Chain A
Amino acid sequence: MSGYDIHLENFEGPLDLLLHLIKKNEMDISDIPIAAITAQYLGILDAMKTLNLDIAGEFLLMAATLLHIKSKMLLPRSYEDDAEEEEEDPRAELVRRLLEYQKYKDVSETLEAGPMLGRDLFARAAPEPEVLEEAETGFVAVGLFDLLAALRDVLEEKPEELVHEVNLEQLSVTDRINAILTELQGKESVAFLDLFSDGIRRSEVIVTFLALLELVKMRMVRFMQNTHHGTIWLFPSVPIDETEELEVGEDSLGYT
């Protein structure tokens, strides 16, 4: 056990460990000797009994995959022409994953090595203007309880409607999200209460609130207030018109 100078925590994951073993043994990635690499892989897992359990799960899954591939490779291959054509090398998927992983690992190192703002280059403005803005305006993020209190205040003004009318209403959260975004367009902020105009019904209050929660979850908007229990303001996280331009379409990268 003492012969290993490999520590599992140094590896990003099972793919990283496999790549390391392939390089160390100068194996051909397109023709991995699966039995040898499986043995080494399992040896390392053995040597590291004191693992973080969460990590171990992923490493064990790969061990099972390796053993599965190994067992498939040991099965006699059919010599019939048609069968041979249909069968894929059992290692093919693993190889694809390894190559793909290697690609992103390499490029992440390239990115890291390049000039980074705040590390190698400095701009006149602070790298995180958002933080500065908060410090200047004295706004703080709104907590859950203040938000719920605000909702309660709005709802208290809208008592349950004791009517038996059946209305075919089409209230969709998506529509409200879009309406709120339109409302915010070109504005620096909107007061929370302004989103619940006087004529609004109780059910609409709920839908609007849900829409707001979705927007916060999507990080499109932030709730801020000056003081605790103060007026709650809704700020767009990015100017709304810029969000449009940042939208990334499926084809815009040229990769698939």
Chain B
Amino acid sequence: MDIHDLIPLAEALIFAADGPIKAERMAEALDVPLADIREAIEALEVDYAERPRGFFLQEVAGGYQLRTRPEYADYLRKLGRSRPFRFSRPALESLAIIAYRQPVTRSEIEYLRGVDSGSVLKTLLEKRLVRILGKKDVPGKPMIYGTTREFLELFGLPDLSSLPTLSEFSELAPDTETEALMESLPLLVDGEETGTQDGEAGTRDE
């Protein structure tokens, strides 16, 4: 099939799909080589980007989906057609930990956050952003959690490797970190007396 015929066809498939549609699935449905579909998708992407459209083609969750441009969000929200996800900070933090550390157990999440995360985890499961991947083969067989396709769709990520990079700040290798600590460790802990008398004296200065 000629690529110029394929472009509108691919567009039709993407438009009609009820979620992000994979290039492989489109190639199969149209019975054309995958490379051709990819070429058509690329052409569409360029086309949407260059023309003044209300939507664009986004690669998300392994597939492609037409989505409205973020600059029109205010107007679209006025339509009131959506119930946007409202994230609490605990939910977002837990979700981030699960996304980057999956497969991860609840106790690992709780160690990282320093607080009980059971109810947050339940909410994330209910919102289908997180799912149980299975059980860890350690005593107690704890559940291990990972993110879902819905998670990728929500944040508009093509796949998990597209998650934003974690800040370099903490990327010190444990060894250098400890070494630096050892060097900077004062033999006599001076200057701390001022802060230790009682809690109130220590903070009132601020």
| Chain B residue, CB-CB nearest to A58 | B115
A3 to B200, CA, bound (A): 9
Of B148, B192, B206, the residue contacting A35 (CB under 8 A) is B192
Asked if residues B96 and A248 are in contact (CB atoms below 8 Å), the reply is no
Asked if residues A121 and B68 are in contact (CB atoms below 8 Å), the reply is yes
- Would you list which residues of chain B between 84 and 133 have a CB under 8 Å from chain A? 84-85, 87, 89-90, 92-93, 95-97, 100-103, 111-116, 125, 128, 131-133
A29 to B148, CA, bound (A): 35
In the assembled complex, which residues on chain A have CB atoms less than 8 Å from the CB atom of B66? Answer: 123-124
Asked if residues A39 and B199 are in contact (CB atoms below 8 Å), the reply is yes
Whole-angstrom distance between the Cβ of A254 and the nearest chain B Cβ: 7
Of A35, A88, A111, A119, the residue contacting B82 (CB under 8 A) is A119
Chain A 27-55 per-residue mask, 1 if CB under 8 angstroms from chain B, else 0: 01011011111111111111100000011
| Chain A residue, CB-CB nearest to B97 | A104
Segment touching B, from A179-187, A201-209, A238-246 = A238-246
Of A13, A46, A107, the residue contacting B167 (CB under 8 A) is A107
- Interface size of A by CB at 8 A reads 85
In the assembled complex, which residues on chain A have CB atoms less than 8 Å from the CB atom of B167? Answer: 102-103, 106-107
| Chain A residue, CB-CB nearest to B102 | A248
Asked if residues A33 and B192 are in contact (CB atoms below 8 Å), the reply is yes
Segment touching B, from A89-97, A149-157, A191-199, A223-231 = A89-97
Asked if residues B89 and A246 are in contact (CB atoms below 8 Å), the reply is no
> Main SS of the interface on chain A?
helix
Asked if residues B100 and A253 are in contact (CB atoms below 8 Å), the reply is yes
Q: Let me know if B202 is at the binding interface, CB within 8 A.
A: yes
Asked if residues B73 and A121 are in contact (CB atoms below 8 Å), the reply is yes
Asked if residues B103 and A219 are in contact (CB atoms below 8 Å), the reply is no
Whole-angstrom distance between the Cβ of B56 and the nearest chain A Cβ: 9
| Residue from the set A25, A36, A106 with the largest chain B CB neighbour count within 10 Å | A36
Give 4 nearest A-B pairs by CB, closest first: A43-B199, A36-B195, A35-B192, A13-B115
Please, could you name 14 A-B residue pairs with CB atoms under 8 Å apart, sorted by A? A13-B114, A15-B113, A38-B196, A43-B200, A43-B203, A89-B185, A104-B100, A104-B113, A104-B166, A115-B70, A116-B156, A121-B67, A123-B67, A255-B101
Known interface pairs A30-B177, A55-B115; 14 further A-B residue pairs with C-beta atoms within 8 A, sorted by A's residue number: A3-B200, A4-B203, A12-B113, A15-B113, A31-B181, A43-B203, A47-B200, A58-B115, A95-B181, A97-B112, A100-B170, A108-B96, A116-B156, A252-B161
